[in-house]
Structures are given as structure tokens and as C-alpha cells.
């Protein structure tokens, strides 16, 4: 009996430790006025993106859900409108796995929307396969699609007084690496059908997100636009919807017990969107609504610049 009690005590202690560290939650306290401001959220029809859209719509922002699936987006909009009273949430088609779709989205947006105050690069996935343009899907969607989207919207962002770009990264960036030779030969930073290969490619794409933000901040110095990367926490979302059934069987009980819900996962994004006075911290990496120190690989100036140059070439911007 005593061994059982000791085991339960140890298990409970581990649970408390995890809840207070790896699975710690936070609360956004920012209260910037959003009425009259326009926001784009990629992947805003579900998970963290939808929770972010819900909060910003409640504050009076005009929210553009940039999503691939119109049916899911319209369902999300109906729910958001019902729960917030907003009538200013709209869908625009965007498939981040298609550079042509990104360009079409930007063309439509610039014609129909006179301002852009906040761009939230939220969408992401864990999966194998290729994009329409032949890139590894995690690199193509998680990084390259957002890279092109941001670059094409920069001039509109600069027209506003205090525009921001927020990119959802992950603490997984710490285990990522960028093999430029492999990227050149295979248009990918990792692929394979095993879970560890999915995860390795995901880590690489999240390192791209962090380095993109680092270099973007350098290029935006002196402008009215600032940028931030975010680790939202370990959140129960549809991110892993493409993993195998047995992996879901393993993940589901753990996620139910420990993972944050999407509303909690949106708090650091909302902090970077709503907290006043963050401008001097442009390029920073945030977690639990506070600035975190990046590891060396996340602030490597030379790699960040090379990634930018290579991304421009791959997107046809140079």
C-alpha cells in the first residue's frame, strides 16, 4: 500500500511540475483599442487561430479569416458572430501550400481592404507530402507560404501607424536545423513517413519561423511595423490531424490531461497583438506572454539572412 501511495505522490508531483513548466498557461493583459483596425489570421477557422479571431472580433476588429476550407471558415465565422456579436468577420480563400494562391489572396485583399494593422501567421501543420509547387509540405506551408504572404503585404502594413506581424513558431525550433544544400536539391528540409521524421521536419520549419522574424525585424528598422514570434504553449489543436491512428491513440489521453485548450494557447499571440510598448522588442520570441531568450541558432544573423535570400528566390521575388 505504501508503495502505491508513494507512486501516486510521485505521479502527482510530476503532473504539477509539468503543468507549471512545459504546460504552463498565461493570460494576456493587453488592451489596445482594436475598433477600426483590420487583422488577417491564417488558419483562423480552428484551434488557436479561431480563439484569436474570437477575442479580436469581440474587441471590435475587422477580422479576415485566411483559410483554405471555405465551409469550415464560414462555420467558424457563424460561431464567432454568434458569440461576440461581431458582423465584421469575413472569409478570404488562402492555400499556403500554393504560391499562386498566396499571390491571388494578396491581390484580392489589396483591392478590397484599405488598411492592414495586424498580420497573424498562425496556420501550421505536421504532415508529409509536397505542396503544389513541389516543396516539402511543412517547409512550404509553415514557412514559405507565410514568408511570401508577409513580403507581399509589407507595403500595406507600412501605411498604418503601428502595424505588427506575429508568427506562430514553437519551442521546437530549438531542435531544428537548416540544411541549405538539401533545400536546394530536394526543395525540402526533411521528409519521411515515420513520426520522428515528421517531427524533425516540423522543428526545422519552426526554426525558419524564428529566423524569419529575426531577419524581418532587422529589415523593418525605422519603419512603423514591428514583428514577433510566439510559442503558444503545448496546445490541443488539429495540428497533428495528419498523423496515424495509433499515434492519435497515444497522444489523445496525454493531450486531454495536460495540453492547453486553444483559448489558453492564444494568449501569447494576443499579448503580442494587444500589449502596448512592445515596439523596442521587435524580432523577439515570446512565450507565456513574456519575452524569452532565444538559443544561438534562433538568432544567427548569417543563417537568418541566407534563409531570407533563399526564400526570396524560391518564391520568385528575386
Nearest to 237 by CA among 262, 257, 254, 268: 262
What are the angstrom distances between the C-alpha of 170 and each of 59, 174, 232? 26, 9, 7
Supply the pLDDT for residue 190. 78
Supply the pLDDT for residue 2. 61
pLDDT tens for residues 80-97? Answer: 999 999 999 999 999 999
Residue 9 contacts residue 31 (beta carbons within 8 Å): no
Query: CA dihedral defined by 305, 279, 28, 158, rounded to 10 degrees?
Result: -80
Nearest to 22 by CA among 209, 247, 257, 194: 257
Tell me which of 15, 194, 202, 228 is the catalytic residue.
202
Q: Where are the beta strands (DSSP E) in the chain?
A: 38-42, 62-67, 89-93, 118-121, 164-168, 226-231, 285-287, 290-292
| CATH number attached to the domain at 30-234+263-315 | 3.40.50.720
Q: What is the DSSP letter of 130?
A: B
Cross-strand partners of 39: 63, 118
- Nearest-angstrom CA–CA distance, 42 and 120: 7
Residue 9 has pLDDT above 80, yes or no: no
pLDDT tens for residues 156-166? Answer: 999 999 999 99
Least confident range from 8-17, 141-150, 249-258, 266-275: namely: 8-17
Q: Is 15 a catalytic residue?
A: no
pLDDT tens for residues 113-132? Answer: 999 999 999 999 988 899 99
Supply the pLDDT for residue 237. 55
pLDDT tens for residues 258-277? Answer: 468 999 999 999 999 999 99
Residue 233 has pLDDT above 70, yes or no: yes
Residue 8 has pLDDT above 80, yes or no: no
Average pLDDT of the residues in 174-185: 95
Confidence category of residue 195, pLDDT binned at 50, 70, 90: low
> For residue 307, what is the enclosing H or E element?
helix 301-315
Least confident range from 73-77, 93-97, 182-186: namely: 182-186
What are the angstrom distances between the C-alpha of 191 and each of 74, 199, 201, 202? 33, 9, 6, 10
Average pLDDT of the residues in 224-230: 98
Query: CA dihedral defined by 265, 281, 126, 109, rounded to 10 degrees?
Result: 90
Count how many Cα atoms sit within 13 Å of the Cα of residue 309 in the half-sphere of its side chain. 7
Q: Residues of the chain with pLDDT > 90: what percent? A: 77
Q: How high is the mean pLDDT of the chain?
A: 88
Amino acid at each position: 500500500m505504501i508503495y502505491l501511495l508513494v507512486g501516486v505522490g510521485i505521479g502527482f508531483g510530476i503532473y504539477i511540475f509539468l503543468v507549471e513548466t512545459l504546460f504552463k498557461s498565461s493570460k494576456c493583459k493587453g488592451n489596445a483599442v482594436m475598433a477600426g483596425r483590420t487583422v488577417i489570421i491564417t488558419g483562423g477557422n480552428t484551434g488557436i487561430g479561431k480563439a484569436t479571431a474570437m477575442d479580436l472580433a469581440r474587441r471590435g476588429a475587422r477580422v479576415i479569416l485566411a483559410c483554405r476550407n471555405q465551409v469550415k471558415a464560414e462555420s467558424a465565422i457563424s460561431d464567432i458572430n454568434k458569440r461576440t456579436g461581431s458582423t465584421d468577420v469575413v472569409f478570404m480563400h488562402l492555400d499556403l501550400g500554393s504560391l499562386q494562391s498566396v499571390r491571388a489572396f494578396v491581390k484580392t485583399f489589396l483591392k478590397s481592404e484599405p488598411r492592414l494593422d495586424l498580420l497573424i501567421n498562425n496556420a501550421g501543420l505536421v504532415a508529409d507530402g509536397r505542396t503544389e509547387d513541389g516543396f516539402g509540405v511543412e517547409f512550404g506551408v509553415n514557412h514559405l507560404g507565410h514568408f511570401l504572404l508577409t513580403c507581399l503585404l509589407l507595403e500595406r502594413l507600412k501605411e498604418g501607424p503601428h502595424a505588427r506581424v506575429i508568427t506562430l513558431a514553437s519551442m521546437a525550433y530549438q531542435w531544428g536545423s537548416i540544411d541549405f544544400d538539401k533545400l536546394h536539391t530536394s526543395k525540402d528540409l526533411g521528409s519521411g513517413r515515420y513520426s520522428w521524421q515528421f517531427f524533425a521536419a516540423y522543428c526545422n520549419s519552426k526554426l525558419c519561423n524564428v529566423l524569419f522574424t529575426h531577419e524581418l525585424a532587422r529589415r523593418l528598422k525605422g519603419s512603423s511595423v514591428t514583428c514577433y514570434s510566439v510559442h503558444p504553449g503545448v496546445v490541443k489543436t488539429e495540428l497533428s490531424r495528419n498523423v496515424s491512428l495509433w499515434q492519435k491513440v497515444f497522444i489523445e489521453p496525454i493531450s486531454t490531461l495536460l495540453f492547453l485548450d486553444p483559448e489558453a494557447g492564444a494568449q501569447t499571440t494576443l499579448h503580442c497583438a494587444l500589449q502596448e510598448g512592445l515596439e523596442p522588442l521587435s524580432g523577439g520570441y515570446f512565450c507565456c506572454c513574456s519575452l524569452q531568450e532565444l538559443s544561438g541558432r534562433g538568432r544567427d544573423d548569417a543563417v537568418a539572412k541566407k534563409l531570407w535570400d533563399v526564400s526570396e528566390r524560391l518564391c520568385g521575388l528575386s
